[in-house]
A and B are shown apart, each in its own frame.
Chain A
């Protein structure tokens, strides 16, 4: 007999909400980079508006976690799952903020002539979206297998970020007139790189939840 049925249902619901929160951030990320590439200010505005949804998920899930801690007095795996959720939503919320920053950068850059064709930035965004999807799925499924993959993808992102930065510095040195746009694009790449770092934090939390061991992934 499942003697903690209602508690289990609430835990499942909380995990589903984290997945939904993550998918909103994933949409924001994809949309923000698309707005950047297509110089689409309207799309950027739509993305900016979505940040409120993420913030609301963040507050609601935090309240659910606190309620479960207070009323259900979870122990062991349940306790680690809820503790992990409290950390993970902070990371996801922060990723939403970075996606918002990218959308704002897209609006700003739409007023300038393009200085280069965007290749690496969409590539980083693609990797980061996959990392986010995989990490949250791993949280829900209690799976540690994808964690080493996430660490490898984070390394890839770091390399691509450095390539973007160096490329932009070279452009500025060639033609200081493009500095405003180039710096903005370095920042966008930096935001994406930071998002990947937050995803590795999620990986660390999943590892703790599953093994009880805290270890740094990056």
Chain B
């Protein structure tokens, strides 16, 4: 999962002393990423190395660009007609920001979970089997195995194993969100993007999602956008702080939340921003 360093334009990657280099393997290498919505520059020259098999949290006030950044990774911004992107996002030796990238294949490798659970109006089984079917798995037994494995990985199997053919809408909000995680995991992504995955959930469901993330991080790379600073501190190994489209500081979460180096990061994490 290491980005191909030789392909990277390292000279244009300005070393920023507020951006710490992750200790282990790198999963995603982003270089000089800019995103415009019409004339508005939503992301301004963001460069970052996102560690593999770790949880990276992105924090910052509303409109800071953190969700735009997240959506750039699996090209969700393509769905916004006014959005325009420049720069590079390297995943497995491929610049996924390149217009020629196969977006369907990209989204198999980079799954996404949204703020509000969005199960399809289908059974629990069919929700999880949806992705594998699209990618050509039709064998019933194989599908059943994938569904069971994915639901187990999403820590919801025990709650739904006897009701797999019930509608996904019969589940609680927290269960629906874990089902959506299972659906994302069913195609074995390398990266899981989570955009405020617990902000619509009660505290217990939130903790279940966080615990699940903790277990998943041994296998996949997770990037989470959250407004909940305590959540970012609890779940992530690394944190990036965005402000007005810029990545101000990136480092180990322990450092960001105890001894941030930039005054703006300090003001934001201590709640004195405004």
Chain A residues engaging chain B, CB cutoff 8 angstroms: 1-4, 7, 73-80, 212
Known A212-B258, A212-B259: A73·B274 in contact at CB below 8 Å? no
**B240 on the interface (CB 8 Å rule)?**
no
Greatest chain A CB density within 10 A among B259, B260, B265, B270 is at B270
Q: A73-B230, A76-B266 are in contact. Are A4 and B257 (CB under 8 A)?
A: no
Give Cα distance in the complex from A80 to B265, angstroms: 15
**Known: A73-B230, A75-B229. Is A4-B258 also a contact (CB below 8 A)?**
no
- Asked whether A4 and B230 contact (CB < 8 A) given A80-B259, A212-B258, the answer is no
Could you tell me the distance in whole angstroms from the C-beta of B196 to the nearest C-beta in chain A? 18
B contact residues, range? 10 to 19
8 residue pairs, one from A and one from B, having the closest CB atoms: A212-B259, A75-B269, A3-B274, A76-B269, A75-B257, A4-B271, A78-B270, A76-B270
Q: Which residues of A contact B229 (CB under 8 A)?
A: 73, 75
Residues on A with beta carbons closer than 8 Å to the beta carbon of B274 = 1, 3
A3 B259 Cβ-Cβ under 8 A: no
Report the bound CA distance from A57 to B233 in whole Å: 32
- Decide: B233 and A75 in contact? CB cutoff 8 A: yes
Contact A79 B272 (CB under 8 A): no
- Chain B 235-264: CB-based contact to A (< 8 A → 1; otherwise 0): 000000000000000000001011110000
Query: B230 near A79 (CB under 8 angstroms)?
Result: no
Interface residues of B, dominant DSSP: helix
Nearest chain B residue, comparing its CB with the CB of A4: B271
* Complex Cα spacing A156 to B47, Å: 52
7 A-B pairs (CB sep. < 8 Å) = A3-B271, A73-B230, A75-B269, A76-B260, A76-B269, A77-B270, A212-B259
Known: A73-B230, A75-B229, A75-B233. A4 touches B270 (CB 8 A): yes
Residues of B within 8 A of A77 (CB): 266, 270
B263 → A minimal CB distance (Å):
10
Interface centre among B229, B255, B259 (most CB of A within 10 A): B259
Q: Chain A residues near B271: list those with CB within 8 A.
A: 3-4, 7, 75
User: In the complex, which residue of chain A has the Cβ closest to the Cβ of B265?
Assistant: A76
Contacts of B233 in A (CB 8 A): 75
Q: Which residues of A contact B258 (CB under 8 A)?
A: 75-76, 79-80, 212
Question: How long is the Cα–Cα vector from A7 to B273 in the complex, in angstroms?
Answer: 14
CB neighbours of B230 from chain A (8 A): 73
* Nearest A residue to B274, CB-CB: A3
User: In the complex, what's the smallest C-beta–C-beta distance from B67 to chain A, in angstroms?
Assistant: 22
User: Nearest Cβ distance between residue B242 and chain A, in whole angstroms?
Assistant: 17
Q: How far is it, in angstroms, between the C-alpha of A74 and the C-alpha of B271 when the chains are bound? A: 9
Nearest-CB distance from A141 to chain B (Å)? Answer: 18
Residues of B within 8 A of A4 (CB): 270-272
